[in-house]
Structure formats: structure tokens, C-alpha cells
Amino acid sequence: MSALAMDTQVGPDGRPAVFESGVWFSQDRRHQWNGIDWVPSHRSGEGLSFAHVGFAAVFVAVVAYAVSTMVNSESAFNIGFYLGAIAFFGVLFLIFLFAGRWGWIGSVIRVLCLGLALLKVVTLIANPPSA
């Protein structure tokens, strides 16, 4: 592709290019613009990080705990309480995933998400709803 392609901001895959961390990437993140031409990207945009796995493990643990509590208790409050906790972790996980593409502010948001998740887990352990 030529420099004209960058003027229209279209990547080699024919879809709009994405400006991320000061570099133009194709939407599939396989190529980046070096100022003259599209070259294969050395950026590892795919795969799971330790943070993804840890956050998912916390989410699964909360879901398992909530399900076991709902099975052992017939209280409507408990069911709503734990469904709310599951929804909280689901939304927090989505924010965590999307914030990864926001540069340094995304890093700050991700740290805040991890802090909120830990706070919620400590709250659930320290103050479980009464049966």
C-alpha cells in the first residue's frame, strides 16, 4: 500500500485503521504503519495475560460461591444479593477488557477495576448476607 492509503486511514485488510499508543494498526492488529508502508506487527495483541486469568478466576469463584449459597438458602434477598454481585463483576470485567486499549489512562482504570474487585471480594467474605 502507498502513503495514499494512510491518508484515507484504511489498513491492508480493507477496514479502517486504528490509532493506538501512537501507532496506526490494522483492525486485526496484524500490521502497523511505519510511515511508508504497512509492515507485520510485532505487538502481541492477542492472548490472555495473568491479569485476565486472575480476574476470570475471581469471577468464577464468586459465581460458584453464589450458586452454592443460593442452593443452600431459599431467601430471595440472598439470591438477589449474589445475582447483583455477579452482575457487578461482569460489568467490571467488561470495563477491564475495554480499558486495555486506552493507553495510560486505561492502565489506571484497570488498576481501579482490580481494586474494586478485591474490595467486593473482601466485602462478600466479611459481610455475607444472613440466611
Structural domain boundaries, residue 75 = 50-126
Residue 105 lies in a domain: yes
Q: Output the pTM of the full model.
A: 0.47
Are 91 and 55 members of one domain? yes
Q: Checking phi first, is residue 33 left (phi over 0); if not, alpha (psi -120 to 50) or beta?
A: beta
Reported as a single tens digit per residue, the pLDDT across 25-58 is 877 777 888 777 788 877 554 566 777 788 788 8
Are 54 and 117 members of one domain? yes
Are 18 and 76 members of one domain? no
Reported as a single tens digit per residue, the pLDDT across 86-121 is 888 888 888 888 887 777 888 888 889 889 888 888
Are 84 and 56 members of one domain? yes
Q: For the chain, what is the domain count?
A: 2
Stated as kind and residue range, the H or E segment containing 104 is helix 103-126
